[in-house]
Every structure is written in structure tokens, then in C-alpha cells.
Structure 1
């Protein structure tokens, strides 16, 4: 099993699957926003950025998975994006499950002045919804609850792959 995972981390197919899964989540978000008319809140926008980080990690890993520095750059981006996305999704779930006047998100995205994504690409990054509002559910779970599951899965797979890639250097070669 470890040998299989060691080989898997150096293939373009594995990194392509990671990128494809993140692209699928991004396309779903855009479908919900532009076809179904569900307006994203600021937490949705930040979660969208975390998914874009996973997508970029998959694309970077696809570029040259045999080169350890490219692979580990992609893996670190993947791990960071997954962890940050999980934290954001958990906070978003908290806004929805524990609504109060003191537990609310900002109505505005807090992008740096040198990277105003909400002004450059408003169709993708402009928040216009309410974080505490549950506008969609599937199997009685809201969108942020599903994102908790997705980001936790991304993070778990990252941890396994990182450990396997480190073991590769310590033994067996």
C-alpha cells in the first residue's frame, strides 16, 4: 500500500484528480450563484479562495510531480488551503448554527489593497449574501457543512500523502 501511494504522489493523474475535484467544487459554486441565484456571503468567498488554492496546488503538482521541490510546493499549498478552508467552513457553520447579533460575519470581503479581487472579478468574489442564512440543504446539511466534509477529506488525504512521501526518503530507497 505504501509503495502504491509513493508511486501515486509522483503521477500527473493523482494531481489532476485533485485539481479536477477542486474545479468541480468551484463550478458548483458558480452554478449555485449564477444559475440558482444563491448569493455568496463573505465566508463563501473566502471558502471559494481556499478551494482555488487546492485547484492551484493540483495544477502545480501536475506540472512536474517527479521533482520533489515542485511536488512539495504543491503539497504545502494543498495542505495550507485545506486547513484554512476547514477553519473557514467551521466558522461559517458556527455562524449558521449559533445566530446572534454578536456572532455575524462582515458584509465586505477584506482583500488587501494590492489585490482587490472583489473589484477585479465581482462575478466571482463579490459577497452579497448573509453568512447566517441557510439557503440550500442537501440530505439536511447546509453548504458550509458539506464544505467541512470536503476540506476535512482534502486535509486527511494531504496528511497521508505527506507522511508517505516523507517515509519514502527515510526507508526503502
Structure 2
């Protein structure tokens, strides 16, 4: 039994996308548990976006759709998750670029969940009012939100190439 080469290629590309998301989440958790870097509210939402993107990648890899329409559907799902991540990471980068004390994240997410509606929590976190402006970690001169933004863009492109190519 032979598999269609495009189908296998889609499966492999989406599985590699899943592994990238899982690796990024694992590294963030490692930094939190091993190095004591506590995530801010925008970091938590970026983790949710990476998890959502990873789930779409995993589902697409497991399904390995034969039809172009189904591949495009998975691509659209991945792009939606990646665009959400781009928006959140972009907001976080913006917060970090502001003068100290100008923008922050607000109360801890657990406290906000207990005292506010879901919509109010999302609105509050996205308007950043706590420690999101702090830069506690850098690699090659870029903070973690910058790297998240770069990875969301790369993974969006990766999903687009896998899902929207002809074949």
C-alpha cells in the first residue's frame, strides 16, 4: 500500500508544526519551573495560542486529509490560531517597548478569573496593566515576546505552505 506523496508531506509538515509548538511550550514551562521566570498575563495567553495552534497541527497530522478542501480547512484553523498569537505577542512587544511604568498587565490572572467575567478578563489582559513590561529573559538580544512573535509568524507561514499548496 502506498500513500499519496502530498498527503504524507502534509502529515509530516503538520506533525513538525505540532512538535515546534510542543517544544516551545515545554521550554516556556522549563523556564518557569527551573529558572523561576513567572509568566505574565500576556505570556499565559501566548501559551494558549501556541497550544491551540499545536492542537490544530496535531489534528491535521493525525487526519492527513486527502482532499485539498480539508487541507485548506486545517490551514485556516492554524492561521486563525497563529494570527491570535501574533496579535497577543505583538501587544506584548509593544508593552515592553514603552517607557518603564507606562504599560503593564495588572492583577494576577487567577485573581481576575475569580473576580471578573471572561470577557472582562480578556479585555483587561489585552490592555496590559502588571509586569508584562519587564524583560527577564533575552536570546540574541530579543525578549521572549519577540521570539514568540517570530515563531507565530514562521508557524503561520509553515501552515500556509502545507495547506494551501497545489496538489
* TM superposition score category, shorter chain reference: 0.7 to 0.9
> Which residue of structure 1 lines up, in the alignment, with residue 34 of structure 2?
35
**Residue in 2 that maps onto 1:53:** 52
CA 162–106 in structure 1, closer or farther in 2 if over 3 Å, else same: farther
1:56–1:70 CA distance, 2 compared to 1 (3 A): farther
Residues in 1 aligned to 2:107 and 2:77: alpha-carbon distance in whole angstroms: 27
Which residue is equivalent to 2:22?
23
What's the TM-score once normalised by structure 2's chain length? 0.75
Bigger helix share: 2
Pairs aligned (count): 147
- CA-to-aligned-CA distance 1:14-54 (integer Å, 9 cap, x gap): 22111111000010010010001000000000000000011
* Equivalent residue number for residue 95 of structure 1: 95
CA distance in 1, matches of 2:158, 2:16: 12
Cα distance in 2 for partners of 1:66, 1:134 equals 42
Q: What TM-score, normalized by structure 1, do the two folds share?
A: 0.73
Q: CA deviation at 1:8?
A: 5.8
TM alignment of 1:18-167, pairs within 5 A: 18-68=17-67, 71-99=71-99, 101=101, 103-109=103-109, 130-164=131-165, 167=166
CA RMSD for the aligned pairs? 2.6
- Structure 2 gap ranges (5+): 119-129
5+ residue gaps, structure 1, are: 1-5, 115-128, 169-173
CA contact under 8 A between 1:95 and 1:104: conserved in structure 2? Answer: yes
Inter-CA distance 95–103: structure 2 relative to 1 (3 Å threshold): same
CA contact (8 A) 1:82 1:154 kept: yes
Q: 1:161 to 1:14 in 2, by over 3 A?
A: closer
- Check conservation: 2:72, 2:164, Cα contact below 8 A: no
